[in-house]
Structure 1
Amino acid sequence: MTSEMSVLHLFLEASFVVQFIMLLLLTASIVSWTFIFQRTSALRKATKEAASFEEAFWSGADLNELYTDLAQKDDLSGCSLIFCSGFKEYVRLRKASSTVPESITDGTYRAMRIAMSREVDDLEQRLPFLATVGSISPYIGLLGTVWGIMTAFIALGQVKQATLQMVAPGIAEALIATAIGLFAAIPAVIAYNRFSTKVEKLENTYGNFMEEFSAILHRQSIANRG
């Protein structure tokens, strides 16, 4: 690519509207990649936390000791936070002698459900932005292309004889807007689909643990009442 037809040269020679659209798409792409790296790290950490907790939980450890160990940490998340929220509510309800096992189970489940909803909300952070970038970036780039081509043909209408050398730069700078739009959209769409699948798997993991833990606490409540 010659210096006369370089991307930078075409960008500088483009109209203000096309330049603004290009800068907007580049900014969206940079922000998207920042969020992609952040969400990759957060979801990887959440997956490891869930696997580590389930290993400790199903190893036969005493629930009181497990709760005591986890309650001392300040950065609880995932299954650990759900477990502590449910077990804390279970202990509180069990101290009320008039509380029946079904009420204890329902109260414990609600506490864990609230904790799980907050965890899923945290995991889904930034995903709507990636979905928005992935869906609208091609159209924004297309708008820049249409505007650039329209400007190029308007300029050609003012000359008596049009040549390919006169048309090529205007069309090239217009097509760059579409290319940048696709450059911003494709990674955002791929990341959104991948992250959504991981969040769904973690949500299923949390839900399954809640059901199993509720069943354990329900049996323990019946045994204690008996």
Structure 2
Amino acid sequence: MKPAELRYWAASQAAVRCQNALNEQGISIAVTIDPKEVAESVAAIGKPYLTPVLDPERNDFNEANFFWLIASRDEVPVIVGGGRLDELACNVGTHMAQGLNRAYGSGTVSSINPEVDAQLSGRVCYLGDLFSKSGKGLARSSRKCFLGIANFISAVHFRADCTYSFMRVSDVMRGSADVNGFDRRIYDPLTWGVVPDARNATELIVYRNSTSDLDYFNHITRELEQRE
């Protein structure tokens, strides 16, 4: 197989195992791009907000550049999150700043770290709005499998060159970036002019390049095989 084919095969194998592992926990997975279903899942899980950059009511999304993933137990959402694809050959930082200022208001972002342009380019997938419902018997492995499926969509359906999220330093220190499949960091990615209510001044960018996809998905497969 060619390198790209190996990545897609490894991603597919890992996604199947992730889905099976979730099913064993009584959790089913659904993917949608329907704005009504997105809104209903956010309300049902008790998530207090949906970020503007992933809100299908505020963006011209379609199946080629957006997905919303819903994990449910007994038809009640227990984990949700989504992704969007942007094709950006260059100037990712400018695009990011413009998008955030448009979403939250002019002056929200005052500057972008040059490392954003240096590290992120091409077909760029953003994963965000990850939210899990506490008190539902969710293990750390549940979220890892959920993200394994989200990263599969990014790698295989979107064919992303890189996949990233914003994450608070405290969550990175607890290992959330690694659980979510991101092995690289951009510290202080932007300077806030005004920090929006739903955001945090300590956020950094965590990401994974497509060149690391094969290792990431093979790691998930090996880990789930050991649990069988």
Which TM-score bucket, shorter chain as reference?
A: under 0.3
Structure with a larger share of its residues in strand: 2
Structure with a larger share of its residues in helix: 1
Larger Rg: 1
Q: TM-score by structure 2 length?
A: 0.20
Q: TM-score by structure 1 length?
A: 0.20
